[in-house]
Amino acid sequence: MQWNAANLDGVQMTRTSPYQYLNLRRNPFGELTRDERAELAIVEVDVLIDFLATGRDVLQVIGPCGHGKTTHLLAIGKAMPTARYLYLPEDGPRPTVDASRPMIVDEAQRMSWWQLRSALRHGGPLILGTHVDLSKQICRAGLRVRTVDVTQPVSILRLAEILNQRIEASRFNDGKLPQITQEIASRLQQVFGANVRAIERHLYDEFQRSVLEQKTWPPAD
């Protein structure tokens, strides 16, 4: 891999990737595309897909930003390729939550009372990513609801697996890779709780500093 190529007197000069000494091709904790997020998601989707077997089922994934709601939705969408995915922005025009099923709605709490009622009238399978609990409204519509609460921290083992999956996806070549140990994962969870996005932002900055200084990563302490 090459980066920052410069041309001096007609001679192409190149330098190797700044991450190559760690056997990586990029910072593992940078922004991912939607497809990459779905591919790297570690979510037990089979049991959730089984729940969504009828037209009367609604799955809500509940929690604040950064805790894995969208990751869950993307993983479910990957397992249900016929599902339509809608994101409801905070500002500007929003797509219509119509009768298409199965449907995934991200930021479902932004629907008005009338819009939610209309969406529920069409039944399921419906998957909602939301900051607020919509189970009362769902049950009132005569639908079955299951809630995935992403505010609860994952196990230390699972957190380390999630972070090491990001590292593996940034591999440069065969050989050894840096690893997030369970001890490191435990320290991160003590500081950031269940906010995986905050953990990844912290690791992004820490990783960049280590690369700029050509230091071993992750740090020993």
List, run by run, the mean pLDDT of 10-residue segments along the chain (221 residues). 36 63 95 92 93 93 92 95 94 90 96 94 96 96 96 94 96 95 96 95 96 87 59
Q: What is the pLDDT of residue 221?
A: 59
Q: Report yes or no: 22 and 217 within 8 Å, Cβ to Cβ.
A: yes
Q: What is the pTM of this model?
A: 0.84
Q: Which of 51, 59, 25 is nearest to 134 (CA)?
A: 59
Listed by start position, the domains of the chain span 52-149
CATH of span 52-149: 3.40.50.300
DSSP 8-state symbol, 171: B
DSSP 8-state symbol, 154: P
Q: What is the pLDDT of residue 211?
A: 94
Q: Report yes or no: 120 and 100 within 8 Å, Cβ to Cβ.
A: no
